[in-house]
Amino acid sequence: MVTKNELKSALASLGVEKGMILEVHSSLSSFGRLEGGALTVIDALKELVTEEGTLFMPALRLSRELELTAQDRELGITVKIKVLGADAEKTAMGAVADTFRLLPDTLCGRDTISTAGWGKHAEEALKGGLDYAIHNGGKALLLGVDIYKLTAMHYVEPATPPDITAMYATNEEINRIYPPDEWFIEAGHPPEKAWYKIQAMAYERGLIREAQIGGCKAMFFDILPVVGLYENELKNDPYGLWGIK
């Protein structure tokens, strides 16, 4: 059993501190047994950053990936996710993020793709999502998840060449069966996992600090330098990054 005090001590040792702007992604189950569950994670973070700091968590109203049908595969669909209703309590963001966005002192957008915020700059979650955190010294904390959960990475993806985006875009038939306002669909995958390459680069440059909290591997780093690596690769070697020849 990981206690709240043990969690706070480990997070403080990583560098989580008063006044910090923090983007948090988490898997509650990764801890094994955690005293108090999701609220313990949230309370520990609030007590460390205090109201002088800010917590941001994802509030995307999306289901977990759904099983593909034979027809889906014939159409080239590789990922199928349902857009959930505005009052959905459980999403693919996990128990901590879902609990956080529903708390009375959390500010959260109502769009499908939204961010939830608490603390001094919480209102920025409603204005620009994670843009404020990225460009104002924000840190990222990944608890039991890896870089593929880091929402901030998407903020530099406009640098992706249009022809790469077009390779994996849905077509009219897919959109007819799965209307884009009701579904999130991916049609194909690049040959290589680009974000893991960025994660490896960040480790090589010493940008990421780690801690083990029960069964949970925690990763902590400055957001901008890491997403900056991604932006740089998208601008200078996007085809090599994604393994596209």
Q: What percent of the chain has pLDDT over 70?
A: 100
- The residue segments making up the domain with residue 101 are 4-242
Give pLDDT, residue 87. 87
The arithmetic mean of pLDDT across residues 136-156, rounded, is 98
Q: Considering the chain, what is the average pLDDT of its residues?
A: 97
**Spatial distance between the Cα atoms of 18 and 30, rounded to a whole number of angstroms:** 25
The number of domains in the chain is: 1
The arithmetic mean of pLDDT across residues 43-49, rounded, is 98
